[in-house]
Amino acid sequence: MESFNEAIPRFIEEAGWLAPVLFIILHLIRPLLFIPVIVVCIAGGFLFGFVYGTIYSIIGLSLMSLYFYKLVDIFPKFRERVLKLKKKVFKDRVISVGQVMILRMMPFVHFHLLSLYLMEMTSSFKEYMRYSVVGVILPAMLYTAFGQAITEMPWYLSIIFFGSLAIVFSYLGKRGTAVYKWDRFFPKKAIE
């Protein structure tokens, strides 16, 4: 195992400029391979360290947002599929930009659904990209630096972490233009 840990930095060093390019491309093809964002960011931290891993992840996730925007524009059927998924997952909920940013930090929330919300909230491509880039900075930093720790932390710390994010999410919802009731965001299931 020790030789494996020594071989990776040597491989990255020998690959030169190609290693970061391949890593950014991995971010772009990640959805096709069904790899979660957190896994790729953790790999970036392991392979390139915190600073460069974060920078490469921000670039990759920003390009992924750009790619998604263009893909939805070019293929209306793809947009319809994502809209159906949005209606299925989020129903008719309206969330704020701040809430989208918080949801981006949660590893189990679909990245492209949040991008769709940003597309609907913004009035132009430039505004969408600005929010997208700002919205991936904190998750890229968090996953790169603490991703491995989050996946290995005990269940009670995970609950505290995600509970804290839920509190911030709720607070941002109250500060926005609309107030969201708990029952509207988490509908009760009918008891038979």
- Model-level pTM? 0.71
Residue 113 — pLDDT band, cuts 50, 70, 90?
confident
- Does pLDDT of 187 surpass 70? no
pLDDT, mean of residues 73-87 = 86
Q: Which residues contact 185 (CB under 8 A, 6 or more apart)?
A: 93
Q: Where is average pLDDT lowest: 69-73, 92-96, 115-119? A: 92-96
The DSSP code for 191 is P
- 191 pLDDT more than 90: no
Angstrom CA distances, 141 to 9, 36, 73, 184, stand at 20, 15, 29, 32
Query: What band does 179 get if pLDDT is binned at 50, 70 and 90?
Result: very low
Whole-number Å distance between alpha carbons of 91 and 184 = 9
pLDDT 10s digits, 47-78? 888 889 999 999 999 999 999 999 988 998 98
The mean predicted confidence, pLDDT, of the chain is: 80
